[in-house]
Structure formats: C-alpha cells, structure tokens
Amino acid sequence: MANTYKIDREVTLHMLTTDRAIYSPSRKDIEVLEEPTKEKVLPSLLGLEFLEELNFKLTYDMPVRAIYLER
C-alpha cells in the first residue's frame, strides 16, 4: 500500500523530446504518491495508467544505464 493525494485541477506536464520539441499533455485529477520523508530523496515516476493513456512506454537501456520515455 502507498499513500497518495489527488490534485483536483488540470495539470500540464512539459516534456522536452530528443528532437528538442516540447510536448505538453494536460490531465485532470492526477493522483500523486506521497513522499515518505521531507527530504524527498526518492525520485517520482509517472504511473503506468497515465503513460498508457498518452501511448507512452518506459524502457531501460542496461548497457548505458538510461531510462527512456518513448511514444
């Protein structure tokens, strides 16, 4: 189990693509994972439902140790 909270207004995410274009999808009623500490040492990841809704997939390139968000 994880604690979450809901943002009850429209949120726009701005993402820079590899070709330097800006992609800005907007969504309403996003649930956010509550950070376990005030230092916020854990990175946040977008949920699978959100990624699937935007037709994205998350891939990991082991040789270069990089994570990519692909469409």
pLDDT per residue over 15-47, tens digit each? 888 788 898 888 888 877 777 666 655 455 567
Strand pairing of 26-33 and 22-23?
Answer: unpaired
What's the whole-model pTM score? 0.53
**Span 41-55, pLDDT tens digits:** 545 556 777 777 788
Contact 17, 23 (CB under 8 A): yes
